Structure 1
Amino acid sequence: MSAPYRRRRKRQLKAEINVVPYIDVMLVLLIIFMVTAPLMNLGVGVELPRSNAKSLAQKQEPVVVSVDAEGNYFLTLQGAPQEAMQPEELTARVAAFVNNNPDVPVYVAGDRAANYEVVLNAMALLQSANVPRVSLLTRQAETPPK
């Protein structure tokens, strides 16, 4: 008789994904983001609104929306006296004027001491009034004596 045939158990292959390299990559990315995140919040101190830019020649009298240091809005329409206005009234008046005069330049004159958010809100109000282009007014920078 023949000897009993022994079967050897074959090792079964394990279908696993090695996640260690993925963890290494994720840790490196985490370190990179942790190092660069504080750098994104750094700002540069600026003093507005002075500029050396030359003034542009205008064919038409501009519409000027002014913002004072307290955050009040004022509107000056083509040679008319400056009027204090609420934001809703300002939006309606500028929208009506720009619809009739689409090529008129529109400027925002923010007081140097005004909160930057208030000046941006003025620009957003003009955008909601369908003003195609809004520019910021600045003073001519003082030239140092030679």
Structure 2
Amino acid sequence: MNFKRRKLEEPEINLIPFIDVLLVVLIFLMLSTTYSRFTELQINLPAADAEKLRERPAEVLVAVAADGRYAVNKKPVDGRSIELLTAELVAASGGRSDTVVIISADATAAHQAVVNVLDAARRAGLARLTFAAQSGGAAPR
């Protein structure tokens, strides 16, 4: 009988198969993942390509500049308040409620400036609104 104690060997953790599996998983993820960055929202505004109207109803053209200034029928409005813009729209429409308001806003104009025009038209009692668009052949700036 051999009563001699054996020296117990410490179990050894082999890391090489573990590293191999991790590299395979990493390669799989790199090949199957698509990376797309959305740094800014690209918007292409619609272009109008319609026939010209032969008979034009009463129209009021409201231009909105990039810095928020307004012009009603190519006449600059002194301020940027909705009350001044409403007064100009009432004067330009001549009191007719069937007048069409054409809003021509700069591409870089703030949305709030266009909403102010919509609000001023509502206050002036002008319900017929439309937006001006570029023609099909014009290149955007």
Q: When the two structures are superposed, what TM-score results if normalisation uses the length of structure 2?
A: 0.56
Pair 1:70-2:67 in alignment: yes
For residues 1-146 of structure 1, the aligned pairs below 5 Å read 45-48=42-45, 50-60=47-57, 62-76=59-73, 81-86=74-79, 87=81, 88-98=83-93, 100-142=95-137
Hey, what's the Cα distance between the residues in 2 that align with 1:49 and 1:117? 20
> Against the structure 1 CA distance between its residues 61 and 130, is the aligned structure 2 distance closer, same or farther, given a 3 Å change threshold?
closer
Q: Cα offset for 1:60? A: 3.8
Q: Cα offset for 1:49? A: 5.8
Give the share of equivalent positions with the same residue, in percent: 24
> Does the aligned pair in 2 maintain the 1:66–1:108 contact within 8 Å?
yes
Hey, what's the Cα distance between the residues in 2 that align with 1:112 and 1:130? 27
> Against the structure 1 CA distance between its residues 85 and 139, is the aligned structure 2 distance closer, same or farther, given a 3 Å change threshold?
farther
Q: 5+ unaligned residues in a row in structure 2: which ranges? A: 1-40
Deviations 1:55-79 (A, max 9, x none): 4334345211110000111111xxx
Superposed CA RMSD in Å reads: 2.7
Find the residue that maps to 1:47 and give its secondary structure: coil
Q: When the two structures are superposed, what TM-score results if normalisation uses the length of structure 1?
A: 0.54
Larger radius of gyration: 2
> Does the aligned pair in 1 maintain the 2:62–2:71 contact within 8 Å?
yes
